[in-house]
Chains A and B, each alone.
Chain A
Amino acid sequence: MSMTNQDIETGARTPQRKLPLVVHILLAQAAVLLCCLITWYLCENVVPKQYSDATYRTELVMMDNNYNAMGYLKGEGGKIAALQYNKVSDVITKKPFYQEIVDEMGLLHADELQAGRPLGEQDLTAGRLMDRVKWGYDEADTTGRTITIDVTYADPAEAEIIGNRLAEKLNGILTDKSKLPGPPINQPNRIEHTGLIQEPVRTGPNTLVWVIIAGLIAEGIFLTMAFQTGWKNKVTCILMGFANLSRGQVLRGLLFFLFEVVAVGYMIGWGVGWLQKLPTLGTVKTEHYALKAGGQEIVTYGDDSFKILLYGVLTIFFIGAIIYTYYQNVKQGRLAAKIEARGKKLKSGREDLRSLVDDQFHKTLLALPVTGIILFTVMPIIFMVLVAFTNYSGPLDGKENLFSWVGLDNFNQLLTWTSAGSGNKTFMATFGEILAWTLIWAFFATFTNYFLGMFVAMAINKKGIKLKKMWRTILVMTIAIPQFISLLYVSKMFDKNGIINSFLINMGWIKDPIEFFGDVSRPWLARVTVIVINIWIGIPYLMLITTGILMNIPADLYESARIDGANPWQQYTRITLPYMLFVTGPYLLTSFTGNMNNFNVIYLLTGGAPTKLGAYSAGGVSAGQTDLLITWLFNITQGGDHLYYQASVVGILVFVVVALITLLVYSRLPSNKNEEDFQ
Chain B
Amino acid sequence: MKKLFAILMAAIMALSMVSFASADGNEYAITIWAPEEAVPLTKAQVEAFNASNELGVKFNVTVEPVSEANSATSMIQDVEAGADIFFFAQDQFARLVQAGALAKIDDETAAKIKAENDVSAVTASTSGDALYAYPLTADNGYYMYYDKSVIPEEDVDSLEKLIADCEAAQKYFAFEMQTSAWYLASFFFATGCVSEWKTDDEGEFIEVRDTFDSPEGLIAAKGINKLVKSPIHLSSSQASEFASNAAIVVSGIWGYTTAKDILGDNMGVTDLPSFEVDGKEYHLGSFSGCKLLGVKPQVDHGKATALTALAIYLTGEQCQLERFEDRAWGPSNLAAQGSEAVQANPGLLALQKQNQFATVQGQIHGSWWDIAKVIGDDIKAAEDDAGLQAALDNYLDKISGLFNLADDVKYGWTVIGTCNLEEGFFYTDYSDGRSTWTDDIPMVKGEDGLWKTDKAYEMEAGVEFKVRQGLSWDNAFPADNFKVEEAGTYFVQFDEESGEVSLVAE
Contact = CB atoms under 8 A, between A and B. Distances in A.
Tell me, yes or no, whether A and B come into direct contact in the complex with CB atoms closer than 8 A.
yes
Contacts of A262: 10, 13
Given A259-B10, A497-B172, A72 B380 contact: no
Contacts of B394: 423-424, 613-614
Majority DSSP secondary structure for residues of A touching B:
mixed
State which size class the interface on B falls in: 35 or more
A491 B98 CA distance: 36
A78 B377 contact: no
A520 B377 contact: yes
Nearest to A512: B231
Contacts, number: 208
A84 interface: no
Interface stretch (B49-57, B72-80, B219-227): B72-80
Most buried by A among B11, B129, B430, B436: B436
A554 interface: no
A297 B99 contact: no
Contacts of B129: 94
A299 B439 contact: no
A638 interface: yes
Given A325-B6, A360-B1, A513-B231, A296 B304 contact: yes
B374 A294 contact: no
Contact of B3 (A255, A270, A317): A255
A138 interface: no
A521 B244 CA distance: 25
A294 B107 contact: yes
Contact of A366 (B1, B108, B433): B1
B377 A613 contact: yes
A317 B10 CA distance: 11
Contacts of B108: 294
A317 B4 contact: no
A512 B229 CA distance: 12
Interface string A436-461: 00000000000000000000000000
B374 A611 contact: yes
B395 to A, nearest CB: 8
Contact of A617 (B241, B297, B370, B377): B370
Given A395-B99, A617-B398, A71 B393 contact: no
Contacts of B107: 294-295
Nearest to B245: A497
A18 to B, nearest CB: 31
A255 B374 CA distance: 63
A360 B470 CA distance: 80
Nearest to B369: A620
A220 interface: no
Given A423-B398, A620-B366, A76 B470 contact: yes
Contacts of B23: none
Contacts of A86: 200
Interface string A568-604: 0000000000000000000000000000000000000
Interface string A62-105: 00110110111001111000000010001101100000000000
A511 to B, nearest CB: 8
Contacts of A638: 73
Contacts of B439: 78
Interface in A405-448: 422-424
Interface in B359-383: 366-371, 373-374, 377-378, 380-381
A622 B372 CA distance: 11
B1 A622 contact: no
A394 B106 contact: no
B426 to A, nearest CB: 14
Contacts of B67: none
Contact of A266 (B13, B299, B366, B435): B13
Interface string B472-484: 1110000011000
Contacts of A90: 200
A512 B166 CA distance: 13
A494 interface: no
Nearest to B396: A423
B34 to A, nearest CB: 22
B196 interface: no
B460 to A, nearest CB: 14
A613 B382 CA distance: 11
Interface stretch (A47-55, A148-156, A167-175, A285-293): A285-293
A98 B367 CA distance: 32
Given A325-B9, A422-B397, A619-B367, A311 B16 contact: yes
B2 interface: yes
Interface stretch (A24-32, A482-490, A639-647): A639-647
A610 B377 contact: yes
Most buried by B among A67, A322, A638: A67
A423 B367 contact: no
Interface in A157-210: 181
Given A70-B437, A518-B178, A611-B374, A297 B4 contact: no
Contact of B304 (A67, A78, A297, A641): A297
B244 A642 contact: no
A67 B436 contact: yes
Please name the 3 residue pairs, one residue from A and one from B, whose CB atoms are nearest each other, closest first. A620-B367, A400-B100, A363-B1
Interface of B: 1-13, 15-16, 73, 76-77, 79-80, 95, 98-100, 103-108, 129, 172, 178, 200-201, 231, 234-235, 241, 244-246, 297-301, 304-305, 308, 366-371, 373-374, 377-378, 380-381, 393-394, 397-398, 400-402, 416, 430, 433, 435-440, 470-474, 480-481
5 contacts: A259-B9, A296-B304, A397-B76, A497-B245, A642-B76
